[in-house]
Amino acid sequence: MTDDILISPSLLAADFARLGEEVASVAAAGADWIHCDIMDGHFVPNISFGADVIKAIRPLTAKPLDVHLMIAPVEPYLEVFAKAGADIITVHAEAGPHLDRSLQRIRTMGKKAGVSLCPATPETAIQYVLDRVDLILVMTVNPGFGGQSFLGSQIEKIARIRNMIGDRPIHLEVDGGITPDNAASAVAAGADVLVAGSAVFRGHGGLDYANNIAAIRNAAKGGRAPAVRLRSAAG
């Protein structure tokens, strides 16, 4: 696990009429990555935006674009998202029968490969692809919409996945309903990347976004405190 806790604001909660400004603003406000939610109205019951939007925002920031594909089938679209400028491409374990192939394909294109699990999917769904991934994304809401409440049932799954990861250099990302109130519990369970949409894009841009990101980051650090205490107790 990396020492840093990374914050990946979800553009789903941004003002789409001013998307370019919102990307620049949240990047300057301290975002580590930019989370881009791609929804197809089929795998999830909502439609967001596609690869042309990724291409349009790519020149606006040097931050990694963390692209979460909630689409099925996913395989035919991997190349277009890679070419549009995604850095991390995450596919859902539930999106099709050939997860192993999709993950290999993402890495072959020189991108970081991520796999995501819906709340009802057990961690065993990814036990045979652990050596193919750079990131595991645990959904802490049912995918499709921003602004939903965090599902506490996923905390145990996050902890189990952290154990499964062992020493592998894999990020463990949580997505859905993250706020300063639950960030520490997600981190204590083993998450090191926090996606947040509505908890970041509230207020009036710049300074508000910086405060919102700082509040999540500071709260999240509380989730690391027990481990730090244990380490120092052990000498």
Q: Which stretch binds ligand DX5 (CB under 6 A): 50-58, 127-135, 156-164, 169-177?
A: 169-177
Please give the distance of CA 124 from its chain centroid, rounded to a whole number: 20
One symbol per residue from 65 to 104: x for binding Zn ion (CB under 5 A), - otherwise; what is it? ---x------------------------------------
Cβ 207 to Zn ion, closest distance in Å? 25
Residue 73, preceding peptide bond in cis (omega within 30° of 0): yes
# binding residues, ligand DX5 (CB under 6 A): 21
| Residue 198 binds to ligand DX5 (criterion: CB under 6 A) | yes
Which does residue 26 bind out of Zn ion, ligand DX5, none, counting CB within 5 to 8 angstroms by kind? none
| Residue 196 binds to ligand DX5 (criterion: CB under 6 A) | yes
**Known catalytic residue: 175?**
yes
**Known catalytic residue: 66?**
no
One symbol per residue from 134 to 153: x for binding ligand DX5 (CB under 6 A), - otherwise; what is it? -------x-xx-xxx-----
Sheet hosting strand 193-196, strand order edge to edge: 6-9, 193-196, 171-175, 135-139, 112-117, 88-92, 65-70, 34-39
Classify residue 114 as left (phi > 0), alpha (psi -120 to 50) or beta: beta
Q: Say how far apart CA 189 and CA 173 lie, in whole Å.
A: 11
Strands (E) in the chain, as ranges, are 6-9, 34-39, 65-70, 88-92, 112-117, 135-139, 171-175, 193-196
Residue pointed to by tokens 């204590």 = 188
Nearer to ligand DX5, 12 or 138 (CB): 12
| Residue 37 binds to Zn ion (criterion: CB under 5 A) | yes
**Residues in 128-157 at the binding interface with Zn ion, rule: CB under 5 A:** none
Which does residue 123 bind out of ligand DX5, Zn ion, none, counting CB within 5 to 8 angstroms by kind? none
Catalytic residues: 37, 175
